[in-house]
Amino acid sequence: MKEDVLKRISAAFPGRWDRNYVAAKLRTDPLYGAIANELGGSDYPLLDVGCGIGLLAFFLRAKGLDASIYGVDYDDRKIEVATHVATESGTRDVSFHHHDVRNGLPEHAGNVSILDILQFFDPSQQQVLLENAAARVATGGKLVVRSGLRDSSLRFKITVLGDWLGKATRWMQAAPTHYPSAGDFHRILSSYGTVKISPLWGGTPFNNHLIVLTR
């Protein structure tokens, strides 16, 4: 992403901490570009599950994705920040709402994203969430998931440590509970379409992977 666009996105966030966080994420995390590549050209609306402060939505708008985006998250503060930025920046056709996905997902048909939250649910909750998300993917649409994968690597151990630090600093409200394996995604999602799993750690030390279900 061009530096001027990055600065424009980060400058819209209130508070120095959020602005610095957004700038650092956009510079170092390959996630947002990967999602833009997967969803680019799609006219389907996006349900962003665990949207946080709305960074994915604002990035996709900056990359020219015009489809409507509906974000949900458990953290009230993050929803307030995302809503504030959307209003102040005049970002159109995006909305953010407090929602506990353990109570199900909103009605939706289109694309779905679940980024960096599965580890905060137990295995049965993960399966229900993934199945609910897959059921909301329209024909030809995608479910895109970013998750640390459970394996024996050093990257996995660093991923767990990073999530505990997120809890300790109160950036995340919950501590990690369970990390899915690659086999879990194939088992749960293969009946809905084609599943592709690829590394997505870029220059970071974490064991992050991108999981894409194409319906």
pLDDT in tens, 54-109: 999 999 999 999 999 999 999 999 999 999 999 999 999 999 999 999 999 999 99
Identify any residues that bridge with 211 across adjacent strands, giving them in sequence order. 145, 197
Q: What is the pLDDT of residue 171?
A: 62
DSSP secondary structure letter of residue 137: B
User: What is the mean pLDDT of the segment spanning 165-193?
Assistant: 86
Span 128-168, pLDDT tens digits: 999 999 999 999 999 999 999 999 999 999 999 988 887 66
Q: Is the pTM of this model over 0.75?
A: yes
Output the CA torsion 24→26→28→32 (10° steps).
150
In terms of Cα–Cα distance, which of 33, 32, 28 is closest to 53?
Answer: 32
Q: What is the DSSP string of 27-48?
A: HH-THHHHHHHHHTT--S-EEE
Instruction: List all residues 6 or more positions away from 138 whose beta carbon is below 8 Å from its beta carbon.
Output: 44, 109, 110, 111, 215
Residue pair 70/44 in contact by the 8 Å Cβ criterion: no
